[in-house]
Amino acid sequence: MTAAAHRVVIVGAGFGGLAAARALKGAPVEVTVVDRMNHHLFQPLLYQVATALLPAGDVAPAIRDVLRGQRNAKVLLGEVVGFDTAGKEVEVVLSDGASRKLGYDTLIVAAGATDSYFGHDEWREVARPMKTLADAVDLRSRLLSAFENAAAAEDSAERDRWMTIAIVGAGPTGVELAGQVAAMAKRTLRKQFQGLLDPTRVRVVLLDAVDSVLPPFPPKLREHTRRKLEKLGVEVRLGKKVTGVDGDGVVYEPGAQRLPARTVIWSAGVKASPLAEELAKATGAESDRKGRLLVGPDCAVPGHPEVFAIGDMISLNEIPGVAAPAIQEGRYVAKAIAARLAGSPPPGPFRYNDRGTMATVSPGDAVADVRGLKLTGFAGKLAWAVVHLAFLVGWRNRAAVLIEWAWLVTTGRRSQRIILEPAHQQKITRTHRT
């Protein structure tokens, strides 16, 4: 690239940002991808890292490795903290703490979303979210430690508290976690804790204020999912609004009922990345109640045709915040930029090609709604596996994940049963939090 090359800065290397960067490979631009982490994260399989099935590296390829063959792309490790749209610069705090102004001609912001505790951010320390790789690895340690602590407990009530896992939120993430944790307890732990734990006493409790699991899915798939979860031993408690979380469990309405549980997992809601608010301030754009930026039909920020926003941080035609729309938006924006530079007519308004929604319920069961075709059981699982492998970045990662899945189905064993935090430190942390 020459010094006069058109500068495209992409904030975020998630599905949308990475798709945009790769789609610009042949364009006469200089692409800079900025992310505070050095890896792309395949979030749909994050729960399998948390439940000791997949190693972290299989769902998180390094950004530099993904873009290694793209001469017009470079990567900057740092966190974007502000925008100067008048000067066409973004403010980046680098990994060593230094600050840098990064100029652009076109800006693509794909900062994603974060967990929402609905005004109770103090719950975060106890009810852990699962949005980042660090969250998943931390949750894996907590889950495995809970079973170790249960095996060592001399008091039966304390053992029961350790063996109770409360999951708040019955959307896809909560359902997938509940199914995997239940399967892990019933199959893996039965062989690993012989004589120490009774797997039938492990309680996985799924709570939500809504009246069904997987609310966006068709009724047939929702009912199948609930029946399957209950068959796995998951206690599905719907219409239960959580009003309190602490180190001893959760409190929920109606009736201010308490569920004693040493492990609480949060999957109840999301909101746009804080960068959506920063970009709204810098551009004067509006946001919805979830903090998502309202963009034009071409994904550009109103009044700023040189600034695009894509993925979970935007609100556009009620498109769901999942991987497929973000990938399509990234490719669309890249096409729009290339057309603009070539002096060609711009593409029409962005249109989302909905290829279906799906969620896994257990290691051998999933539900899928593919263009009106409703699949459950093995057929649903096969469709789910094909789609997820297709979206996963890198052939090496696809092969590794497929091998781990086959190993689990064949043996019931999970190869990632490693606790990273020392036992005494967990005790100190828990005491502090309670």
Which residue numbers are catalytic? 176
Size of the chain in residues: 434
Residue 15: name the closest of 340, 323, 343 by CA: 323
* Amino acid residing at 121: D
Distances (CA, A) of 379 to 108, 177, 179, 220, 374: 38, 20, 17, 15, 10
Element of type H or E holding 143: helix 133-152
* Beta-sheet pairing, 373-375 with 365-370: antiparallel
Using the Cα atoms of residue 42, residue 44, residue 45 and residue 47 in order, give the sign of their dihedral: positive
Amino acid making up residue 262 = R
Longest dimension (CA), the chain: 75
Pairing of strands 127-128, 263-266: parallel
3-state helix, strand, coil in the chain (%, to 5): 40, 25, 35
Task: Provide the β-strand partners of residue 113.
Answer: 272
Distance from C-alpha of 193 to C-alpha of 261, rounded to nearest angstrom = 20
Q: What is the CA radius of gyration of the chain?
A: 23
Which residue, 274, 266, 310, 267, is CA-closest to 290? 274
Is-contact 318 312, C-beta < 8 A?
Answer: no
**Backbone angles phi and psi of 22, in degrees to 5:** -70, -35
Both structure tokens of 149: 């602590």
**423 in Cβ contact with 145 (< 8 Å):** yes
